[in-house]
Amino acid sequence: MITELRRSLLILIVTQQVFNYLFGSLSRIFTTLQEVPDPLILSSFVAGFILNLVLALQMVYYWNSPTTAPHAKEIGEKPKQVAMGEIPLTATTTQSKATKSPTTRRRG
């Protein structure tokens, strides 16, 4: 329960940051238009605003999307719930190393 609360709070904080960046870059464009007549500076702020807009639109578009593994139907397994930012374990990540790898620790 506490883990779910932490995840939901983290998601809300990240969402707030993304939209703050978006509005901040929009205010930079407005300030540049009012104060500095340089098109190079303006174009860099417009490019930053466009990238922030893309990020904000992705958050809005994927906000209510399911978090199940999308490839589970293709391989015939039951879809597993995957938390945001969590990497599902596969056969390659859970295999133990049979050979001993060299270490960088100094001995002596």
63-66 long-range contacts (CB < 8 A, ≥24 apart) are none
In a domain, 84, yes or no: no
Question: Do residues 72 and 88 lie in contact, with contact meaning Cβ atoms separated by under 8 Å?
Answer: no
Residue 44 belongs to a domain? yes
Residue scoring higher pLDDT (87 or 43): 43
Give residue 96's Cα distance to chain centre: 30
Q: What is the pLDDT of residues 96-105, one digit of tens each?
A: 555 677 777 7
Winning range, highest mean pLDDT, from 3-7, 10-14, 40-44, 75-79: 40-44
By CB atoms closer than 10 A (0-12, 13-18, 19+), residue 22 is: buried
**CA separation for the pair 106, 52 (Å, rounded):** 47
**pLDDT at residue 3 in the model:** 82
**Tens of pLDDT, residues 46-87:** 999 999 999 999 999 988 877 665 665 665 655 555 555 555
Angle formed by the axes of helices 39-61 and 2-35, nearest 10°: 150
Give 10 or 75, the one with higher predicted confidence. 10
Query: Is 71 a domain residue?
Result: no
* In-domain check, residue 76: no
CA pair distance 70, 64, nearest whole angstrom: 15
Q: Does a structural domain hold residue 1?
A: yes
| pLDDT for position 5 | 79
The pLDDT assigned to 70 comes to 61
Full residue range of the structural domain in which residue 35 is found = 1-62
Overall pTM surpassing 0.75 (yes/no): no
> For residue 96, is it within any domain?
no
**Count of domains for the chain:** 1
Band of the pLDDT at 45, cuts 50, 70, 90? very high
Are the beta carbons of 72 and 83 closer than 8 angstroms?
no
